[in-house]
Structure 1
């Protein structure tokens, strides 16, 4: 799965400290999301390149189909509020 038109997908790769940090923050945020290792999924790597100017920059996050390259948790939360408010606690 490279993107989810209704949800959050975190594209990551092993040993990436930025990925580890963001994935931990997302776990603590209680937002539902899916993780995709771009080293195991060529389609996911292609998606990342398509939104990161040809680079495999991770973490890259898709929020309801909107790509965010190396976002902060705050950027993800703002994107969720705008594009996927049904994912917020209480479905706000």
Structure 2
């Protein structure tokens, strides 16, 4: 659980340090700018940007019921972030599994990728797709009802 917050915490700490250094050097405006920038980086790399993660078994059950893809991801992954941001509001229509929180999800990714934890791994109709194009993922979504 703590591992998912390590990178955001480091970004925030870096921002605070930069802000203090610039403020003590007589340039508080630049310090505040760095603090804001690093806080935004911390937010973007945090689990807060992603929809609420599900356990792998629950995500697969829901995917079987509604036909939506399952996305295996982890915080701090730039490719996962790119997928999430490019999907926009459609991201909430997918089932997200955080492999750092769910050992079964990590095992599913390792099985799909030949032993490593390459994410995002998107499962559509029981077929894994490693780091697919966000436009392709959007096309895999079932029509809205």
Using structure 2 for the length normalisation, give the TM-score: 0.50
**Structure 2 unpaired stretches of 5+:** 1-54
Q: Return the structure number with greater relative CO, CA threshold 8 A, min gap 6.
A: 1
Bigger fraction of residues in strand: 1
Tell which structure's C-alpha radius of gyration is larger: 2
Q: Deviations over 1:39-92 (max 9, x none)?
A: 0001110111111111100010112322111111133245x2xxx6xx1346xx
Using structure 1 for the length normalisation, give the TM-score: 0.75
Q: How many residues align?
A: 84
Residue 71 of structure 2 aligns to a residue whose secondary structure is strand
Q: Which contiguous aligned blocks of 4+ residues in structure 1 show a shift greater than 4 angstroms? A: 28-31
Alignment of 1:1-92 (within 5 A): 1-2=55-56, 3=60, 4-5=63-64, 6-29=67-90, 32-78=93-139, 80=140, 87-89=142-144
**Structure 1 unpaired stretches of 5+:** none
